[in-house]
Amino acid sequence: MIPRETIDKVFATAKIEEVVGDYVKLKRRGANYIGLCPFHTEKTGSFTVSPSKSLFKCFGCGKAGNAIGFVMEIEQCGFAEAIKQVAKKYHIEVQEKELTAEEQQRQDDRESMFVVNEFANKWFQEQLWNTDEGKAIGLSYFRQRGLRDDIIKKFQLGYSPEKGNPLAAALKRKGFVEKYIVNDVDSKLGTGLCGKAEDGRIYDRFRDRVMFPIHTVSGKPVAFAGRILKKKDNVGKYVNSPDSIIYSKTNELYGIYLAKSAIVRENLCYIVEGQMDVISMHQAGIENVVANGGTALTKPQIKLIQRFTNNIIELYDGDAAGIHAALRGIDMFLEAGFNVKIVLLPEGEDPDSFANSHNADEFIQYIKDNQVDFIRFKAQLLQKEASNDPQKRANLIKDIVESISHIPDIITRQVYIKDCSDLLHIQEQLLTREVRYKRREKGVEETEARKKAEEDNRAQVMADEAKGVLAEPSSLQQSNKPKVPLQLDENFRNLLQMIVRYGEKPLYQFDDGSFINVGNYIIETLKGDSIEAPSALYQKVIDEFIAHQQDEGFEAERFYKFHPDPDVMKLAIDLIADKYQLSTIFTKQSVSENVTREVKIATDEDKLQELVPQLLLELKYTIITQRIEQLTEMIHKAEADDNFELLRQLLSTQPALLEIKNEICKQLGNRVITL
């Protein structure tokens, strides 16, 4: 865990306009900055950064937060990782805990290997741009492939010379020790930039190759892929860095560092096979693309993509190898809850060649015109390969059923079952049965729906507890509790806004000089009426106020805005950035037949004595209105079921509910606020 003192230091040091400015081009507008939102596509900037409040807010998509929240959102990382990243920018040391000697050594090994890779990455680029051999061979190759110089630099492409072992010599001159240069298979220590011969000689692993650095999601060069340019016997086209304590080929995706912002913005990730596919698509203007290196996708790679989106389009060649590649990983994506589409390019084309001959608009239009879901993709295979062979047809249908069975959401599964039934002319009931059988085999079949008896019990409890109408009946607090109604959520958020913004401010002062603050007044009122927070997160905001309001120098807004819990922090910033919404039902009060009185209340602290009670009354009005609606539904159901005993009980509670509603309306009528 990162010490609170370190977190506070990072928050105090970080300037939000500098942190955001690393990702977004900002222009000053008065006291604030404005730019194009990185979280959605827009042509007119609605993304605002406020240095005075240390907040950002997009008035287009609604995203808001502080510097740490921005890094979490743009990098799709956790709170601790974001703190470390911002701390590094401002040269603040982060020591999470006291490490053992073994842990400290492993951390030192990792950091040293990253330093070695960083040096090698710059060295390879130097060879490409500043040596005769690099320019004549490596740079010429990239330019012949149609790459512009700015794209070559963007991807930090390089070159490793053919003769001698110049990288090994350069690493030795720099003072790097052998254990970080040569990879040990057993301990996985060392970058593998060099190998070691039986005679003890250190040699360059990547000789006579153009170099593609592989970056982590945060931008560190973690490994390299080297492509040979001259055909040699018994020499593979590509040589890759070996697995090590900092790199596993099953965990990384080529291009993810440069693609992540675009993936978030477009809410879509294209998946291709090779490095050149990624690079050429970037040059064509399509940046939300990654490559899996031609191997089967792994669960860690899928999880990495899921940090940024649940929508993927796989792009492959239209030949047999491309079709086979497109089938790999589909079931794992479906099981993870992805929306999967597949695009086969024209025969003889790959993403690299297609991107070189088309601009971004043409490429994207082709994708829109030719993308299909996995059902239609496999059905097309059936029509081509198995239409006249009953056994092949049956096997392919079973394959489709297997894929559908991996989908976790029951509604999505049923939609695909219906599509499969329509496309392949198979009875929907038969497919549903087969999918359920497959899911039972996996042990993931959904449980039975709630029994009718639970509904009857809920109605009975409603009748028994009608007297405590502002307290939600216990039967509604179970795991099958319905989604919180929008109006109730909005009313409760209004009150949380008062706690977050003004929680420590005095609301009412007593004759003895003591006072009750805004937060305590709201919390005690809710407690007195047995009103519970509609979500665990809302309750945590309340609990945190109770626990910390006595802390020295406590200021609610600052406390929540820089809270270590990212969920609390994000909610608080949303509440700070948004304006409370008063009910439109009680905006005017009739004084006489032809006269209307309007009272305007601002958000200033001197109006809190009127505003806070108003918001509490509006919450109570929403709750009692919902209770009456629920009771009315139960009365209609009891009538339909001829359940006269239950009907009598329900009808007897109705007057009490209506009386409470009328009393709340009367109080609201004396507290009219115009928006």
Token pair of 393 as six digits: 């047809």
> E-assigned strands of 163-205?
194-196, 202-204
Is 675's pLDDT higher than 80? Answer: no
> Which amino acid is it at 581?
Q
- The CATH architecture to which 107-240 belongs is Alpha-Beta Complex (3.90)
pLDDT digits (tens, 9 = 90+) for 241-265: 999 999 999 889 999 999 988 888 8
In 296-442, alpha helices (H): 299-306, 320-327, 330-335, 351-357, 360-370, 374-381, 390-405, 410-424, 428-442
Alpha carbons 525 and 292: distance in angstroms, whole number: 56
Alpha carbons 454 and 237: distance in angstroms, whole number: 66
> Which amino acid is it at 357?
S
User: For residue 294, what pLDDT is reported?
Assistant: 66
Is 196's pLDDT higher than 80? Answer: yes
Q: Which fold has domain 256-370?
A: Dna Topoisomerase Vi A Subunit; Chain: A, domain 2 (3.40.1360)
Is 56's pLDDT higher than 80? Answer: yes
Alpha carbons 356 and 247: distance in angstroms, whole number: 31
Q: What sign does the CA torsion over 470, 471, 476, 478 have? A: positive
- The CATH architecture to which 4-89 belongs is Alpha-Beta Complex (3.90)
The answer to whether residues 226 and 206 touch, using CB atoms and an 8 Å cutoff, is yes
> Which amino acid is it at 293?
G
Q: Residue 113: beta bridge partners?
A: none
In 506-565, alpha helices (H): 518-528, 536-548, 556-561
Alpha carbons 110 and 117: distance in angstroms, whole number: 11
Q: How many other β-carbons are positioned within 10 Å of the β-carbon of residue 310? A: 15
Q: Which fold has domain 378-442?
A: Pheromone ER-1 (1.20.50)
| Chain-centre distance for alpha carbon 302 | 13
Per-residue confidence at 326, pLDDT binned at 50, 70, 90?
low
Per-residue confidence at 583, pLDDT binned at 50, 70, 90?
low
Token pair of 610 as six digits: 């009127």
> Which amino acid is it at 281?
M
Mean per-residue pLDDT, 485-493: 84
Rounded to two decimals, the pTM is 0.62
Alpha carbons 299 and 251: distance in angstroms, whole number: 8
Which residues are CB-contacts of 358 (< 8 A; sequence separation ≥ 6)?
284, 366
Considering the chain, what is the average pLDDT of its residues? 82
Q: Which of 415, 450, 417 is nearest to 436 (CA)?
A: 417
pLDDT digits (tens, 9 = 90+) for 112-143: 999 999 999 999 999 999 999 999 999 999 99
> E-assigned strands of 157-296?
158-160, 194-196, 202-204, 209-215, 221-228, 238-240, 269-272, 289-291
Q: What sign does the CA torsion over 65, 67, 69, 73 have? A: positive
Per-residue confidence at 386, pLDDT binned at 50, 70, 90?
low
Q: Which of 310, 212, 305 is nearest to 252 (CA)?
A: 305
Instruction: Return the half-sphere exposure (C-beta side, CA atoms, 13 A cut-off) of residue 293.
Output: 26
Q: Which of 233, 170, 183, 237 is nearest to 208 (CA)?
A: 237
Mean per-residue pLDDT, 22-50: 84
pLDDT digits (tens, 9 = 90+) for 390-430: 888 888 888 888 888 888 888 888 888 898 888 888 888 88
Alpha carbons 51 and 15: distance in angstroms, whole number: 7
Q: Which of 169-178, 285-294, 603-612 has the lowest mean pLDDT?
A: 603-612
| Chain-centre distance for alpha carbon 627 | 36
pLDDT digits (tens, 9 = 90+) for 91-107: 898 877 666 788 788 88
| Helices and strands in the chain: count of H runs, count of E runs | 28, 20
Contacts of 661-664 spanning 24+ positions with Cβ under 8 A: 661/621, 661/624, 661/625, 661/628, 664/617, 664/620, 664/621, 664/624
User: For residue 490, what pLDDT is reported?
Assistant: 87
Q: Give the percent of the chain with pLDDT over 90.
A: 28
Is 486's pLDDT higher than 60? Answer: yes
Question: Exposed, middle or buried by CB within 10 Å (0-12, 13-18, 19+), for 654?
Answer: middle
Annotated domain spans of the chain: 4-89, 107-240, 256-370, 378-442, 457-669
The answer to whether residues 340 and 312 touch, using CB atoms and an 8 Å cutoff, is yes
The answer to whether residues 127 and 134 touch, using CB atoms and an 8 Å cutoff, is yes
Mean per-residue pLDDT, 435-454: 61
User: For residue 605, what pLDDT is reported?
Assistant: 63
Q: What is the dihedral of CA 475, 479, 485, 489, to 10 degrees?
A: 110
Mean per-residue pLDDT, 505-531: 84
Is 591's pLDDT higher than 80? Answer: no
